[in-house]
A and B are shown apart, each in its own frame.
Chain A
Amino acid sequence: MSLAVELNDVSYAYAQGPPVLRDVDLGIAPGELVGIAGPNGGGKTTLVRLVLGLLRPTRGEVLLFGEPPQRSSRRARLGYLPQRAQLGTDAPVTVDEVVAAGRVGSGPLLGPLRSGDRDVVAEAIERVGLADVAHRPLATLSGGQQQRAFIAKALAGRPSLLVLDEPTTGVDAESQEALADLLDRLHRELKVTVLYVSHEFGAIERYVDRLVLVRGTVVFDGHPSALPDVWHDPSHVHA
């Protein structure tokens, strides 16, 4: 069985710049919940953008379920919550409209949602606990609720791989805890592979069995309890 995510000797540099990532080897099995942590500017977001096929490596090979990401037959089943997810529009948008947009890669591109798709959308909204506010404009909800709506959008594609890039940014501490509990539950229930990116170890190390620390390259890959104390030093995190 292919790995969910495979990076072989991957390096990446933005045009004219120094490498952001160097010599990265990483394999993630289907169903794993992996935390990707590291300092700001360390290359975490670049790494997930390579995995999702939004960037092509300068050197090396990226595979998603055994295929190059750009040509992957599972593209419709990638759930992606970008960093600082926010609407690209000023128009009012309801929760169910946001979540329905997550279904766009599944099934035909033309025409309205089919009834089966509408059921999947309703189920995703239910899973994140927003059924009561499904028809409310997103802008009227709290930051935590808005983030749950974006997670429901990522779930609406029935993802094989769920990538969450700094999902707790701008969310209060209580909502961060609730979000982490939600992700833990979703991972157990749906058996989906999850990549949870965060610059704060504390936000994720209690919930993941595997932590990958990225600082230009992979500097640690293992159980969070094996992480050397030096990496818990905030000066390292924000270096």
Chain B
Amino acid sequence: MLDSEFMRLAFAAGAVVGLLAPAVGFFLVQRRMSLIGDGIGHVAFAGVAAGYLLGISPVLTALVAAVAGGLAIEWLRANRRTAGDQALAFVFYTGIAGGVVIVSAAGAFDVDLFSFLFGSILTVSPQDVALAAVLGAAALIAIALLYRALAAIVLDEEAAVVAGVPVRTLNLLLVVLSALTVAVSMRIVGILLIAALMVLPVMAASRVAWSMRSALALAMGVGLASVFGGLSIAYYADAPPGGTIVLLAAAAFLLASGVEAVRAR
């Protein structure tokens, strides 16, 4: 399998995705913002479409659209212009509708677009891997450096505000990190499924972890195992990798829930 260059590239990008998505998703899930990745993913779809229309890299336009969509969700939520779920719904539907209209205008309803939606092991280029490595490393370093502050916000946002932690700035940063994750991951997992990789490994890890740090580490482990396992299955079964990766992460959650139930007896 690893004799093929496209698989080596897929595994290299997948390693970044497998670690990054649950690491960012961890803080979203704990703050009950699990669906924000989905909202950002749908805006990224409009970004991909804009890339086709303008004839420039869809990954870059998706990155710009994802960051803009994420900031819009956070602005609407933080300023209480709408309820949190309504802010998400607004961005979610506007993104997918805008994407469909722009894709149609660009005449790009084709297989390549399908690969952005559900992931593909054949389309990962060396440039994609380089972009994933740089952005992914930057995001993981940011999370490592800000772990204490992000954890304090998760535990009690109001007490963190009282202590002088720049909660609003960190919330915006978390949204930007989510947008980066979507842009970095869409070649492998696909825009429509990346949010699942941000959430399911965290849900699985939280069932069996014994501390917050262990939950984060286990989530990243589950994410990495799901990506490597899913890519391997996709290679041998000729299946879309996004689906196989997410199904493995879902299986990990069911397994962890079983372990939790047995322990509770």
Min C-beta distance of A122 to chain B, whole Å: 16
- The reply to whether B148 and A90 form a contact with Cβ atoms under 8 Å apart is no
- Produce 1/0 per residue, B3-36, CB < 8 A to A: 0000000000000000000000010001100000
Which residue on chain A has the smallest CB distance to residue B151?
A: A101
Min C-beta distance of B60 to chain A, whole Å: 29
- The reply to whether A52 and B162 form a contact with Cβ atoms under 8 Å apart is yes
- Complex Cα gap A153–B163 (Å): 11
In the complex where A88-B31, A100-B148 touch, is A93 in contact with B162 (Cβ < 8 A)?
no
Please classify the interface of chain B as helix (H, G, I), strand (E, B), loop, or mixed, using the class held by over half of its residues: helix
- The reply to whether B159 and A82 form a contact with Cβ atoms under 8 Å apart is yes
Min C-beta distance of A106 to chain B, whole Å: 8
- The reply to whether A75 and B163 form a contact with Cβ atoms under 8 Å apart is yes
A227 at the interface (CB under 8 A from B): no
- The reply to whether A76 and B164 form a contact with Cβ atoms under 8 Å apart is yes
- Complex Cα gap A142–B113 (Å): 54
Complex contacts, B31 vs chain A, CB 8 Å: 88-89
- Complex Cα gap A157–B156 (Å): 14
- The reply to whether B165 and A53 form a contact with Cβ atoms under 8 Å apart is no
Which one of B154, B162, B206 lies within 8 Å of A88 (CB-CB)? B154
Which residue on chain B has the smallest CB distance to residue A106?
A: B163
- The reply to whether A89 and B154 form a contact with Cβ atoms under 8 Å apart is yes
Min C-beta distance of B103 to chain A, whole Å: 38
A178 at the interface (CB under 8 A from B): no
- Complex Cα gap A192–B102 (Å): 62
B152 at the interface (CB under 8 A from A): yes
Give chain B interface residues in 149-175, CB to chain A under 8 Å: 149, 151-152, 154-166
Interface residue range, chain A: 20 to 34
Which one of A89, A112, A157 lies within 8 Å of B155 (CB-CB)? A89
B146 at the interface (CB under 8 A from A): yes
Which one of A53, A89, A98, A111 lies within 8 Å of B162 (CB-CB)? A53
- Complex Cα gap A91–B150 (Å): 14
Please classify the interface of chain A as helix (H, G, I), strand (E, B), loop, or mixed, using the class held by over half of its residues: loop
- The reply to whether A111 and B145 form a contact with Cβ atoms under 8 Å apart is yes
Complex contacts, A157 vs chain B, CB 8 Å: 163
Complex contacts, B252 vs chain A, CB 8 Å: none
- The reply to whether B30 and A91 form a contact with Cβ atoms under 8 Å apart is yes
Give chain A interface residues in 89-116, CB to chain B under 8 Å: 89-94, 97-98, 100-102, 104-105, 109-113
Contacts across chains A and B counted by CB atoms under 8 Å: 103
Min C-beta distance of A139 to chain B, whole Å: 11
- The reply to whether B213 and A97 form a contact with Cβ atoms under 8 Å apart is yes
Which residue on chain A has the smallest CB distance to residue B215?
A: A91
Complex contacts, B165 vs chain A, CB 8 Å: 104-105, 109
- Complex Cα gap A101–B165 (Å): 11
- The reply to whether A109 and B146 form a contact with Cβ atoms under 8 Å apart is yes
- Produce 1/0 per residue, A32-65, CB < 8 A to B: 0000000000000000000011100000000000
- Complex Cα gap A135–B214 (Å): 12
- The reply to whether A97 and B163 form a contact with Cβ atoms under 8 Å apart is no
Which residue on chain B has the smallest CB distance to residue A109?
A: B149
B209 at the interface (CB under 8 A from A): yes
Complex contacts, A137 vs chain B, CB 8 Å: 210-211
- Complex Cα gap A112–B238 (Å): 44
Which one of B148, B162, B164 lies within 8 Å of A112 (CB-CB)? B148
Complex contacts, A102 vs chain B, CB 8 Å: 152, 159, 163
In the complex where A101-B151, A101-B155, A110-B146 touch, is A54 in contact with B211 (Cβ < 8 A)?
no
Which one of B146, B158, B214 lies within 8 Å of A80 (CB-CB)? B158
In the complex where A87-B155, A90-B206, A109-B146 touch, is A104 in contact with B211 (Cβ < 8 A)?
no
- Known contacts A92-B210, A97-B155, A101-B159, then 15 further A-B pairs from the complex at CB < 8 Å, ordered by chain A residue: A54-B162, A78-B162, A82-B156, A82-B158, A85-B156, A87-B155, A88-B30, A88-B156, A89-B31, A90-B30, A91-B209, A92-B215, A101-B148, A101-B160, A112-B147
A-B contact pairs, 29 of them (CB 8 A): A52-B162, A75-B162, A76-B163, A78-B163, A80-B159, A88-B30, A88-B154, A88-B155, A90-B206, A91-B202, A91-B209, A91-B212, A91-B215, A92-B214, A92-B215, A93-B155, A94-B210, A97-B151, A97-B212, A101-B148, A101-B152, A101-B156, A102-B159, A102-B163, A104-B149, A104-B152, A109-B146, A109-B148, A111-B148
